[in-house]
Amino acid sequence: MTVASELSYHPSTDGDLAYRDLGTGDLVVLVHSGFADHRVFDEQIPALVSAGYRVVAPDVRGHGFSANASKPFRWADDLGGLLRRLDAGPAVLVGLCMGSAVVTDTVLEYPELVRAVAVCGAGTSAFEYADPWTLERAGESARMLAAGDLDGWVEAFGRNAAGPHRTVDDVAPDVVRRLREMAAHTLSKHTAGEKDWLTPLADPWSRVPEIAVPVLAVHGALDASDAIAMADRLAHTVPDGRSVTIEDVGHYPHMEKPEQFNEILLDFLRTL
């Protein structure tokens, strides 16, 4: 995994935001899921660089090696600020779960910086949860965090990779280990009960038809139904959207079947 010395830093108005920057060519930005960091894309970065792309993989504020928030912020402003600093766009934005919300917020607020969007495991930043498994996991996480059971929370976090249709033993141990390591690292940056400074984008679903760039949704067939539905809704609401399903994987298809995920992403990039 990457270490801090291999990262670059964007000096935002509220602390430094870390990112990995490799390769040359058209810019592809990879935005990770919640409680993870840029290392969740360790199989995608070299594949994209080898295919002739410049790849930037940031750590979202409060995650990985990036600064925590000390005042109100928006995901779109953080990523938009990084893209302006890089002056290498417009970029293709690829998001996983929370990262899908980040990239969708960004294309809505800064459309001139984006040439295409790919999402996996979510749609906009207005998350919609109704699936019993998802609601149960959310409740479990909240109880553990409130009780200060951080070890239990990290252990439970690994079950996200399995989804509602499998057990964690059905997922490659290395995938679970990496996810838990990243989650433990991010969680260690925070304290119980600290203020959440994130300012949400108002009613993003109503603005989705404004997204004029191509959108790809990639689903893990064994993911929770909410995650699939949100990404599908985004792809089917924009003027130019499509979706692809990867069989026998859950919420992290890019980690469980990286070669297939990379092929799908590269095929999408070649159409742009």
Segment 103-153, tens digit of pLDDT: 999 999 999 999 999 999 999 999 999 989 889 888 888 888 887 788 888
Predicted local confidence at residue 118, as pLDDT: 98
Q: What tokens does 117 get?
A: 């969007």
Torsion 58-32-191-129 (CA) sign: positive
Quick one: pLDDT at residue 146?
A: 80
Q: What is the pLDDT of residue 5?
A: 56
Q: What is the pTM of this model?
A: 0.96
Does 3 score more than 60 pLDDT? no
User: Sorting pLDDT into bands at 50, 70 and 90, what band is 4?
Assistant: low
Tokens of 121: 């495991």
Q: Could you read off the pLDDT of 6-43 as tens digits, one per residue?
A: 899 999 999 999 999 999 999 999 999 999 999 999 99
Q: The dihedral of CA 52, 57, 1, 171: what is its sign? A: negative
- Beta-carbon contacts of 167 under 8 Å, excluding residues fewer than 6 positions away, are none
| Token pair listed for 131 | 């699936």
The CATH topology of domain 4-129+197-270 is Rossmann fold (3.40.50)
Tell me the domain boundaries of the chain. 4-129+197-270
Structural tokens at position 264: 């799908």
| Lowest-pLDDT range of 1-10, 44-53, 78-87, 143-152 | 1-10
Answer yes or no: is pLDDT of 155 > 90: no
pLDDT in tens, 204-253: 999 999 999 999 999 999 999 999 999 999 999 999 999 999 999 999 99
**pLDDT the model gives residue 138:** 85
Q: What average pLDDT does this structure show over 80-102?
A: 95
Neighbouring-strand partners of residue 217: 119, 243
Radius of gyration of the chain (CA): 17
| pLDDT of 255 higher than 70 | yes
